[in-house]
Amino acid sequence: MKILKYFLCSFLFVSASTFAQNEIKPKRKPGHTNQNKFKQLYDEFATPNMFRTGSGAPGPAYYQQQADYKMDIEIDDVNAKLYGNETITYTNNSPDELKYLWVQLDQNMRAKDSKTPLISGSGVSPATTSARAVKSYLKERFDGGFNIEHVKDVNGKDLAHMINRTMMRVELPAVMKTGDKFSFKIKWWYKINDHVKDGGRSGYEYFEENDNKIYVMAQFYPRMAVYNDTEGWQNSQFWGRDEFALPFGDFDVNITVPADHILDGTGYLVNREDVFTKDMMKRFNQAKKSYDKPVMIVTQAEAEKTEKSKSNKKKTWKLSAQMVRDFGFATSRKFLWDMMAVKIGDKDVMAVSLYSKEGNPLWEQWSTRTVASTLKSYSRMTFDYPYHKAISVHAPMGMEYPMICYNFGRPDKEGKYSDRTKYGMISVIIHEVGHNFFPMIVNSDERQWTWMDEGLNTFVQYVAEQDFGEWNPTALSSIHNAYPSRRGPAKNIVRYMGGNQDFIAPIMTKGLNTYQFGSNAYSKPATGLNMLRETIMGRDLFDYSFREYAHRWMFKHPTPEDFFRTMEDASAIDLDWFWRGWFYTTDYTDIGVKEVKKFAVTANPNDNGKRLADRYNMDPNDLVYFVEEGTEGYDEAMKTAASIDDIPTVKEYIMDNFTPEEQKAMKNAPKYFYQVTFNKPGGLVMPLIVQYEYADGSKEKVTYPAQIWRFNDNEVSRAVASEKEIVSITVDPDLETADVDTSNNSWPKEVKDSDFDKFKNKVKN
């Protein structure tokens, strides 16, 4: 009977005190739908089907289309024009019949009649430079759109087609059934833009000295649009910001450029013997065996000599690539070229850099080494890099294509550079090389979901930057003992999360329509994944699940749900609440300590205790009493007088119900009792991470899972019993949850120095 009574007692106490606190208001509230933050995501997620399963994996009916290209490209260096002739072979693997094909004409974003300039707001500036005034009010817009000369079938017969800005619909002579292949030819040319002056992700940079250009080419050919089970044709227009959606295929590309150019791009160089000198061949073979440092294929002295004259002859470089979603290349007579080998699994991959003398001394030292380091880190976090090379090209932008990317970072004219320039360059190379994994191989739809490649990539970039710093300590400045990553740690996103809600969009927003693009699509998703890895899931579970996602969707087209579902499927952690809060809303984290009540344990009932015993008709001597500091019946002496096992009723109970062995196995008896109330002014649910500091200086960190908020989204209380007196309580002591206001995170309330005072004190000392 004793056991039951004791049990009943504690139960009654709790309900009694709950009643006292929450007075029931007589007025009836209206009903409501499920507004719980832990509600399943059925309303937001697409229903699983035979194409995509509820586990987040490709289903039994999953399919994807294929587009193979054979192209002849020529660059007219004098007039900066590109001429092309391509044969696209399209394979319909879908169960659907296709009446027409959609082809992307991205360069039309630069056409004279492009609507891109018309969707930006603008105003009149009361004072401006002449150059800007001329550009805004006098100069015609540069016409860099495609000139499509013909669209024909393989027999030379014209195919009916219609161009709607950046999309071209090509009519099929006969309906394409499942498994059908159709080949057609497009001939085109366009004026190449100066990407430094006019902007863009492709084009040339002009150098006045010796009248030279560095071409970094992309989106230079009409490209097939994606057709899939979720969108049908993805033919959403290219406005210039949100990137691309492309099917996989094989490419055979012949590129004709001036004979003194050095060129590299996506794919195997098929005719290396024709375009390399004997010296270059010899150095290339050395580079294939050099795992610790790059070998120069074209030296600075050679490049400086070449750029002083111009050849009238032409040379054709032949590249062949399998299972890529796109094709890019870079060409110039200014190029230096270096390479080294890096072991990925049991395979050798070449890390390659193309740069001009303007990039040195930074580029010869760090570009290729950064490429090699990146491939190792990303291969560990996802899958072994499947291509045979990765090239980093020196150009003032940051842009990615399969096996090749264009990266900024240039010292001043004397070759001096700041820490910012150095770290900026290393970070952008890691980021753009990393894009080989997301979205070049895990081929998400960038036009729609910027975060799926930028966010995931920026997350792995953070891991790779930390690796890079660890593996290359000489690259770090003396003030840094780890790589100073801009994006990743939770505390770096606080300024954005706590900002003006009018200019924040949920991550799950089409890329074109987000405010604060960099924070929305890069930093926030990357930080969210870092939080999952470090705080919510733990590294083992997160890494396994993240790798599983990468493996499942390698060389396929995933959607957001495929990612969300896989992370749960592989870890047994229900994360719907996290996806909902972090990805589907603009809620922010703000959790604090609202109140702490201290109690002492005693056998002597105070008035309140007596009343309770009386009400439930219990013998007052059978009960244990907790008296709150500052209330009737409390005195300071009680604070240290008794542990819970000093109370006679408890002693009796223990002796009657437990063997001596069981008694020994019990926890040490607590003396101090607290009721801590945590509140949550922020809308996000997060694990409640609490650090208790004791009188002896020791600290203990307890993490209450996010589910602690499931019944009350505003506040929750915990009873805390301790042998030692608690002197302070801190929520999120290591800044892991991006709490936007830490002024309410401590008890007793900490008066913190303002940023200004902190800095002033630092300067004084």
Can you give the binding site for another protein, defined by CB under 8 A?
120-123, 125-129, 132, 199-201, 240-241, 243, 397-400, 412, 416, 418-420, 427-428, 431-432, 435, 454, 477-479, 486, 492, 500, 502-503, 515-518, 522, 754-756, 759-760, 763
Nearer to another protein (CB atom), residue 292 or residue 755:
755
Taking the least distance from each CB to another protein, the nearer of 355 and 438 is 438
Closest distance of CB 424 from another protein, Å:
8
Contact 570, 674 (CB under 8 A): no
Q: What tokens were used for 324?
A: 């890529």
198-231: string of b/e by CB count within 10 Å (b at 16+)? eebbbbbbeeeeeebbbbbbbbbbbbbbbbbbbb
Q: Which of 493, 504, 496 is nearest to 529 (CA)?
A: 493
Q: Are 724 and 695 a contacting pair, CB within 8 Å?
A: yes
Tokens 């320039």 map to which residue? 421
Quote the CA–CA distance of 601 and 213 in Å, as a whole number.
82
DSSP bridge partners of 184? 88, 153
Q: Of 429 and 601, which CB lies nearer to another protein in the complex structure?
A: 429
- State the minimum distance, in angstroms, from the CB of residue 565 to another protein: 27
Residue 173: asked if its preceding bond is cis (omega within 30°), the reply is no
Cα 395 from chain centroid (whole Å): 24
Closest to another protein by CB, 119 vs 301, is 119
Amino acid, single-letter form, for residue 351: A
Q: How far is the CB of 461 from another protein (least distance, A)?
A: 9
Q: How many CB atoms lie within 10 A of CB 239?
A: 17
Q: 340 near 294, Cβ under 8 Å?
A: yes
> Which residue number, 273 or 755, has a Cβ lying nearer to another protein?
755
- The pair phi, psi for residue 317, each rounded to 5°, is -100, 130
- 503/658 with CB nearer another protein: 503
Rounded Cα distance, 561 and 581, in Å: 15
In the complex, the smallest distance separating the C-beta of residue 489 from another protein, rounded to whole angstroms, is 11
Distance CA 421, CA 567 (A): 36
Say how far apart CA 272 and CA 37 lie, in whole Å: 59
Min separation Cβ 444 and another protein, Å: 14
Nearer to another protein, 524 or 680 (CB): 524
669's tokens: 């008896």
Among 532, 713, 726, smallest CA distance to 629 is for 726
Contact 268, 388 (CB under 8 A): yes
Residue 340: both structure tokens together:
């080294």
C-beta of 759: minimal distance to another protein in Å? 5
- Judged by beta carbon, residue 118 or residue 479, the one nearer another protein is 479
How far apart CA 210 and CA 304 sit, in angstroms, is 10
Q: Which CB sits closer to another protein, 455 or 687?
A: 455
Report the sign of the C-alpha dihedral through residues 754, 760, 764, 765, in that order. positive
Q: Would you say 435 or 557 has its CB closer to another protein?
A: 435
Q: How far is the CB of 122 from another protein (least distance, A)?
A: 8
CB of 760 to another protein, least distance (A): 6
* Minimum CB distance to another protein, residue 548 (Å): 26
**DSSP character at residue 744:** G
Question: Rounded to the nearest whole angstrom, what is the least distance from the CB of residue 534 to another protein in the complex?
Answer: 20
| Residue appearing with tokens 């607290």 | 674
